Amino acid sequence: MNEEGLRLLRRSALRVRRSAAWLRTEEVPPAQGDFLRFLGTGGNPSGVIGQRRRTGGIWLSLGGKRIALDPGPGAAFHAARSGLDARGLDAVLISHGHTDHYMDAPALIEGMCRGMSRRGGLLCLPREALALGLIGRYHLGLDPVPWYPGGPVVTPWEDGREVALGPVTLTPFRVHHGPENYGITFAYAGRRIVYSSDTSYVLLYEDEFGKSLAPRPGEPLPAPRAITQVREDVLAPFFGADLAILNVSFFWQHAHRHLTAMGAADLLRRAGVRKAIITHFDRSAAPDAAAIARYVAQESGADVVAARDGMQLPFGT
pLDDT at 199 over 60: yes
Residue type, 49: I
Q: What is residue 187's predicted lDDT score, i.e. its pLDDT?
A: 97
Find out whether 252 and 221 touch, Cβ atoms under 8 Å. Answer: yes
Among 20-29, 38-47, 185-194, the least confident range = 20-29
Taking each helix axis as running N to C, give the angle between helix 261-271 and helix 289-300, from 0 to 180 degrees, rounded to the nearest 10: 30
> What ranges do the domains of the chain cover?
30-314
Average pLDDT over residues 81-90: 96
Find out whether 232 and 263 touch, Cβ atoms under 8 Å. Answer: no
Query: What's the rounded Cα separation, in Å, for the pair 139 and 111?
Result: 11
Q: What is residue 317's predicted lDDT score, i.e. its pLDDT?
A: 46
Q: What angle do CA 165, 167, 171 make, to 5 degrees?
A: 55
The model's pLDDT over 292-305, given as tens digits with 9 standing for 90+, comes to 999 999 999 999 99
Average pLDDT over residues 69-84: 97
Query: What's the rounded Cα separation, in Å, for the pair 4 and 2?
Result: 6
Query: What's the rounded Cα separation, in Å, for the pair 17 and 189?
Result: 41
Q: What is residue 218's predicted lDDT score, i.e. its pLDDT?
A: 80
Q: Which CATH superfamily groups domain 30-314? A: Ribonuclease Z/Hydroxyacylglutathione hydrolase-like (3.60.15.10)
Find out whether 35 and 313 touch, Cβ atoms under 8 Å. Answer: yes
Q: What angle do CA 161, 165, 167 make, to 5 degrees?
A: 110
41 versus 5: the higher-pLDDT residue is: 41
Find out whether 162 and 171 touch, Cβ atoms under 8 Å. Answer: yes
308 versus 19: the higher-pLDDT residue is: 308
Q: What is residue 226's predicted lDDT score, i.e. its pLDDT?
A: 94
pLDDT class of 25 with cuts at 50, 70, 90: confident
Residue type, 70: D
What one-character-per-residue DSSP string does the chain give?
A: --HHHHHHHHHHHHHHHHHHHHHHTPPPPPP-S-EEEES--B-HHHHHHH-SS----EEEEETTEEEEES--TTHHHHHHHTT--GGG--EEE-SSSSHHHHTTHHHHHHHHTTTTTSEEEEEEE-HHHHHTTSS-HHHHT-S-BTTB--EEEEEE--TT--EEETTEEEEEEE--SSSS-EEEEEEETTEEEEE--S---EEEEE-TT--EE---TTSPPPPPSEEEEE-HHHHGGGTT-SEEEEE---SSTTTTTS--HHHHHHHHHHHT--EEEEE-B-TTTGGGHHHHHHHHHHHH-SEEEE--TT-EEE---
Residues 299-314: b if buried by 16+ CB within 10 A, e if exposed: bbebebbbbebeeeee
Torsion region of 107: left, alpha or beta (phi above 0 gives left; psi -120 to 50 gives alpha):
alpha
The model's pLDDT over 133-185, given as tens digits with 9 standing for 90+, comes to 999 999 999 988 888 999 999 999 999 999 999 999 999 999 999 899 999 99
20 versus 66: the higher-pLDDT residue is: 66
